[in-house]
Amino acid sequence: MRNRITELFGIQYPIIQGGMIWCSGWELASAVSNAGGLGLIGSGSMYPDILRDQIRKCKLATDKPFGVNVPLLYPDLDQHLEIVVEEGVKIVFTSAGNPAKYTGWLKERGITVVHVVANVKFAKKCMEAGVDAIVAEGFEAGGHNGREETTTMCLIPMIAEQVSIPVIAAGGIGSGKAMAAAFCLGAEGVQVGSRFAATVESSAHQAFKEAIVAAGDGSTELTLKELTPVRLLKNEFYQKVQEAYKNEASVEELQELLGRGRAKKGMFEGDLVEGELEIGQVAAMIHTIPKAGEVVVSMMDEYEAVIARMTSK
């Protein structure tokens, strides 16, 4: 399969592994890139020196293209961007901020820039900022999310009709079926998070991976909307958030309850009780913990089978 996304990144399959805090270090990113997709190191949970080390390890582990995801609200942002440039990373996905601020700076340094959005307004801003592609992420996605709550089924065609650059669909996509659906809606690539969080090479704690496998319909909710909306697995910490709501907690009280380090505690250290467990609705369809390369291959196989089924009618 060749399209604008495979051309843009120089990859075999238009499958991008989403940059996820505490899940996507060099092992996952290089495994996905080696399998023909695009792996992303998620820098959002890394101190600058860790990020540099991760990039160096990734370069040793693959000679295929890979990228780094940089949340634009991160405190060490400037250092992260300098390291990305110094280490010769050629692809950067920015998220959680204004695409106008860093796109020009990155592109002047020869870097391909993709920005993640959850609404039409920011998709248009991306176009104006000169990004090379857009990730459009629906309400069903894990982790931080938009306030419009627009789902992947609605968001992808809305954005694809408004922009001329390629659109990468995210949110609810962990199978070849969903990839085919996203392509019908106008996407030219898919960004897959949750499905890769529960793979062998993911740096998530084994207990979190098993919690993903155990999740079912209704196991997640987009919550903490007064802070930054985030889709979480409904564990004990989530229940405490719900109790806080019942007790009419203020924004400050919610912020204090969330505290610092809860995502690390849950996803990286495996504390399923007190930790914050970010995952998408698609977890309900994740039943195994395969190698990341197997996910890429099985998604492409299923994609081809779906297209064949659709045309045989």
**Contact residues: a copy of itself, CB under 8 A:** 1-3, 119-121, 138-140, 147-155, 157-158, 161, 171-173, 175, 177-178, 180-186, 216-218, 221-222, 248, 281-282, 284-285, 306-307, 310-311, 313
CB of 44 to a copy of itself, least distance (A): 24
- Number of Cβ within a 10 Å radius of residue 286: 23
Q: How many residues belong to the chain?
A: 313
When the beta carbons of 8 and 31 are compared against a copy of itself, the nearer one is 8
At closest approach, how far in Å is the CB of 95 from a copy of itself? 18
Q: Which is nearer to a copy of itself, 186 or 270 (CB)?
A: 186
The string of DSSP codes covering the chain is ---HHHHHHT-SSSEEEPP-TTT-SHHHHHHHHHTTSBEEEEGGG--HHHHHHHHHHHHHH-SS-EEEEEETT-TTHHHHHHHHHHTT--EEEEESS-TTTTHHHHHHTT-EEEEEESSHHHHHHHHHHT-SEEEEE-TTSSEE--SS---HHHHHHHHHTT-SS-EEEESS--SHHHHHHHHHTT-SEEEE-HHHHTSTT--S-HHHHHHHHH--TT-EEEE-TTSS-EEEE-SHHHHHHHHHHHTT--HHHHHHHH-SSHHIIIIIT--TTTS--B--GGGGG------HHHHHHHHHHHHHHHHHHHH--
CA dihedral 169, 206, 217, 300 (to 10 degrees): 40
Residue closer to a copy of itself by CB (options 181, 258) is 181
Nearer to a copy of itself, 5 or 111 (CB): 5
- The answer to whether 19 touches 40, Cβ cutoff 8 Å, is yes
Considering the complex, state which of residue 46 and residue 185 has its C-beta at the smaller distance from a copy of itself: 185
Whose Cβ is closer to a copy of itself: residue 108's or residue 217's? 217
Tell me the closest approach of the beta carbon of residue 68 to a copy of itself, in angstroms: 27
Q: First-to-last CA distance in the chain? A: 22
Shortest distance, position 294 Cβ to a copy of itself, whole Å = 19
CB of 149 to a copy of itself, least distance (A): 7
φ and ψ at residue 207, rounded to 5 degrees? -65, -35
Q: How far is the CB of 303 from a copy of itself (least distance, A)?
A: 9
Q: Which is nearer to a copy of itself, 3 or 206 (CB)?
A: 3
To a copy of itself, the closest distance from the beta carbon of 43 in angstroms equals: 28
Residue 20 or 182 with smaller CB distance to a copy of itself: 182
129/222 with CB nearer a copy of itself: 222
Residue 157 CB, nearest approach to a copy of itself (Å): 6
Query: What is the closest distance, in whole angstroms, from the C-beta atom of residue 143 to a copy of itself in the complex?
Result: 15
